[in-house]
Structure formats: C-alpha cells, structure tokens
Amino acid sequence: MIFTCLLTVEVNLKMMRDTDPISWENERGDNVPIQTLEESIRKKWNALPALSDEPCIYRVPEILRRVSESAYSPQLVSIGPFNRGNGSLVKMDVHKLRYLKTFLDHRCHGISLRFCLDGLRELEASARQCYAELISLNSDQFVEMMLLDGVFIIMFLLKFYSPERRDKDPIINTMWMICALQHDMILLENQLPFFVLEYLFRLMSVSNQYSNIFDLIIDFLKDLVKENTTLGTNIDRFKVKHILDLLRSCCIPSSFQHPSNNEPYSRHSVTEIHDVGVKFKAGVSGSSCLLDVKFSNGVLEIQPLPIQDRTESFFRNLIALEQCHYPRSAYVTGYALFMDYLINTPKDAGLLIDHEIIKNYLGSHEDVSALINNLSKHVVLDNTSSYFPRYYQELNEYCKGRRHKWSTSLRRTYYGSPITIISSIAAILLLCLTIIQTICSIISVKKS
C-alpha cells in the first residue's frame, strides 16, 4: 500500500516536470530557464520594426476581403509593393520598362535616369512611412519600384489623352485593358504615395491641356464618382495621400451637418417611405457631391448613382480605406449604410431606378439590390462621427406622422387608378346636381 502511494507521488511529480518545466525549475530555485526566456523576449522586442508615423496605404482587412476577393485584387498590373511579384501581374513589367524609356525620351533637357533615381532615393524614407506594414524590399528594389510604377501610371494617362503618343501601344488600343487599369488604380493595396507621382510628373515636359497629375487622374476616373460634372475644385491637393484618397476627396462634401443627438440611421425602406407620401428627386439642388442627400417638405433628394461593373470595387475600397484610416469621418461608409437601409428588396431598387436616382448599367433589379446590400457587410461605423445629416432625422419624423400615412393611404386607395378617379368625379358631380335640385325644389315650394 505504501509502495503504491509512493509510486503515485513519483508519477505525479514527473508529470508536473514534463508539463511545466519552467515553473518546476523555478520552485527548485534554479532561475536559468527564466533568464533564458527573458532574454528571448527582449531579443524579440529589439527586433520589432518601428511603427509608421503616417500610414495611409493598408492591407485590406481579411474580414472584408472574404466578402468579395475580386473587388480588392488587381486584374492587370501591380502598383506599389503589396502586389509586387504576383505571378499573374509580372507580364506587365516589360510594359513598365517600355514606358520608362518613353518617359526619358520625352524628358526635359538635362534630366537622366540617374537624376530620377537620385530624386526618388531622397523620397524613399517618406514613401516607406506611407505603408502600414514593414516593406521587405531593400533600398534599390524600393526605388526601382517607385520609378517603374509611377512612370507607368503617368505615361499611360498621357498616352490615353494624347493620340499622338499612342503609336502601336497594345494597352491603349485594347479596351479591356483600359477598363482593367481603371479598376487597378483605385485599389487600396495598389497605391503609391501621391508625392511620388507629383515628383515624376514635374520632370515631364507636358504640352497638352493637363498641367498637373491631379487633373489628369480626376479626368480619367471621374465617371466612377459622378457623371458629367467637374470635380476636384475644392480639394486641398496638399492633403491628398494617393489616388484612392483623391477619389474619396471628390466624393465627400466640403461641409457637413451632423445630428444634434446620437439617433441611429433611418431604417425605412424606399417602399415604406413611398407609402407615407415621400417623393423622390434625382439630384440635390446646389450640389455636385455624390454623397449629398437632402430631405425637405416631403421630398427626398439623392444624387444620381451609376451602378456598373466597377461600382462594387469602387465603394468597397473606399470603405476599406475609411475602416483603416478615417474611422472618425467614415462618410462613404455612412452613405453605403444609408443606401442599404433604403434598399431591402428588388422593388425598392426598382423605385429608385424609376425615379432615375439609380442609373442601372448592371442588370436586373435583383442585381442592384444584392450589390447595395452587400457593401456594408462586416463594416463598423460610429454613428456619432459618421456622415449623418439632419435630413435623415427629419425623414424619421416625417414617417412617424400618422397624418401622412392617412392621406397617402386615402389617395392610393381611392385615387390609385384612372377608373377610380373618373368614378369619384362622376359621384361628386351627381352629388352636386342632387344638392342643386334639392335647393331648387325648396325655393319652388317657398314661392308657392
């Protein structure tokens, strides 16, 4: 019996040593393993890369990427370090080299390849700080990447708007490549710092209507933001961080009207607010901003929204940028949520299409409804700081009023069709004639 107890104690002690050797050694007074662990942790501390002071280019959060992988992935070309070396995109490297040769052939006098590299070397430290994670490229690789990718964007845009520069360019003369490049240029993970593009553009001797890279990019991408309008007039160009950030600046109004309290978004669908008598108008008077919404005197004004193949990628990357960089001013995210509340069914989408608020280039009403409803999936928004004008609150109050419900219900029940209207008019006329006949009869009796 004693032997069995001793054996059990020995087995338990052995298990303790095996499962927690550090604690066991520490109990014996031997601190060597703890010191070793401490040194190991301190080495890891010393190896930690320094955090960027001003990051503005991020990896898309995985929870967002899982909803739509293709919306965040380049189709044709890699820009910046995140997608560099991607097997399906390296075929464009030869075109980047050709564009660089053309760039230098059209340079100002005295500007050489060496001069470009020296200038970009001075910008390297600032450019690395723009990326939210440590870039593993060495200095030569990073500078080469900035040169090739930046020149590629500039030369493509110049060729696109200058027929005399096109020659036999296979990219410019292939429509699907132009559309793919427009998609790739607005991806969050496919960005170069804007000051790199500005530096390279200033080296060019440009003889067309574009005097800066700012206007050139806006003109190429403006149909994604709003059709047939002039953009970029009120944007502080010194604050633009990259091409996607420039697009966001084109979307948001110059001034905002925040609510006086923290009420949530209006969760009434288009059909519901239509049933209480709200009217819809395409376009907001006095505004050219995509995100502007106005509600006044029972009329909801919304800027026309073109829905096309690139719309999903456009909104998703703007939302991803706001989730990472603009959590306190997530205006595009707030707009996407508001549209999601408005459109719950294909019927809701159809009503906005009928009123020309949505310009549907995508397909059926079901496709439009599905696209809008998925944009805000897994998105976080702080209502106290989002783009939430007082018009949304006024819309809530309007929908709560019973008078509007009664008057609208009466109008649609009894005056919803031409036959009903004609019948009502006939009944009113008959009633009037009956009253007149009664009055005449009373007068006749009195005279008698």
Q: Residue 283 — very low, low, confident or very high, per pLDDT cuts 50/70/90?
A: confident
Distance CA 136, CA 139 (A): 9
Q: How far apart are the first and last CA of the chain?
A: 135
CB crowding 303-313: b at 16 or more within 10 Å, else e: bbbbbeebbbb
Q: Over 80: is that where the pLDDT of 299 sits? A: yes
Contact at 8 Å (CB) between 33 and 20?
A: no
Q: Which of 48-52, 194-198, 280-284, 390-394 is predicted with the least confidence, judged by mean pLDDT?
A: 390-394
- What's the CA gap between 279 and 298, in Å, rounded? 6
pLDDT tens string 357-388: 999 998 899 999 999 999 988 988 776 555 55
Q: How confident is the model at residue 22 (pLDDT cuts 50, 70, 90)?
A: very low
Looking at the predicted structure, is the pLDDT value of residue 83 above 80?
Answer: yes
Percentage of residues in the chain having pLDDT higher than 70:
77
How is residue 48 annotated by DSSP?
P
CA distance 138 to 124: 11
> What is the per-residue pLDDT across 257-273, written as a single tens digit (0 to 9) for each?
554 455 555 578 899 88
- Whole-angstrom Cα distance, residue 219 to residue 206? 16
Q: Which of 345, 132, 155, 158 has the alpha carbon at shortest distance from 241? A: 132
pLDDT-based confidence at 8, cuts 50/70/90?
very low
Picking from 59-68, 193-202, 392-401, which range would have the lowest pLDDT averaged per residue?
392-401
Q: What is the pLDDT confidence band of residue 48, given thresholds at 50, 70 and 90?
A: confident
24 exposure class (CB count in 10 Å sphere: 0-12, 13-18, 19+)? middle
Residues 407-427: what's their mean pLDDT? 59
Q: Which residues pair with 107 in a beta bridge?
A: 204
Residue length of the chain: 448
Pair of tokens at residue 165: 């520069």
C-alpha 365/C-alpha 413 separation (Å) is 26
Between residues 155 and 418, the one the model is more confident about: 155
324 with 65: CB under 8 angstroms? no
Indicate if the pLDDT at residue 146 is higher than 80: yes
% residues pLDDT > 90 (the chain)? 41
Q: Are 247 and 224 in contact (CB under 8 A)?
A: yes
Name the most confidently modeled range: 251-265, 308-322, 432-446: 308-322
**Two tokens, residue 389:** 């004008």
Rounded Cα distance, 280 and 377, in Å = 26
Contact 253, 67 (CB under 8 A): no
Q: How far is CA 6 from CA 12, 157, 160, in A?
A: 10, 84, 87
Is a pLDDT exceeding 60 seen at residue 228?
Answer: no
Q: What average pLDDT does range 238-264 have in this prediction?
A: 75
Count CB neighbours of 409 within 10 A. Answer: 13
The mean predicted confidence, pLDDT, of the chain is: 81
359 class by beta-carbon count within 10 Å (0-12 exposed, 13-18 middle, 19+ buried) = middle
Secondary structure of residue 301 in the 3-state scheme: strand
Please state the rounded mean pLDDT for residues 384-403.
65
Do 249 and 238 form a contact (C-beta atoms < 8 A)?
A: no
Note the pLDDT tens digit of each residue in 87-140.
889 999 999 999 999 888 865 556 789 999 999 999 999 999 999 999 999 999
Structural contact between residues 266 and 366, judged by C-beta atoms closer than 8 angstroms: no
Question: 77 falls in which pLDDT band (50, 70, 90)?
Answer: very high
* Mean pLDDT, range 164-170, rounded to an integer: 77
Are 159 and 172 spatial neighbours (Cβ–Cβ below 8 Å)?
yes
pLDDT of residue 210: 72
Give the Cβ contact number of residue 401 at 10 Å.
12
Of 174-183, 261-270, 292-301, minimum mean pLDDT range:
261-270
* Both structure tokens of 242: 């990259």
What was the pLDDT predicted at 12? 52
Strand partners, 306: 359
Q: Which residues pair with 57 in a beta bridge?
A: 131
Question: Nearest 5 degrees, angle CA 185-CA 188-CA 189?
Answer: 90
- Residue 299 dihedral angles phi and psi, to the nearest 5°: -120, 125
Using pLDDT thresholds of 50, 70 and 90, give the confidence band for residue 244. Answer: very high
Query: Both tokens of residue 37?
Result: 């662990």
pLDDT of residue 53: 75
For residues 10 and 17, give the distance between their C-alpha atoms in angstroms, rounded to a whole number: 11
Segment 22-33 shows an average pLDDT of: 52
Q: Above 70 in pLDDT, residue 301?
A: yes
Give the lowest-confidence range in 61-65, 70-74, 398-402: 398-402
- Which of 249, 154, 162 has its CA nearest to residue 209? 162
* The predicted structure's pLDDT at residue 30: 52
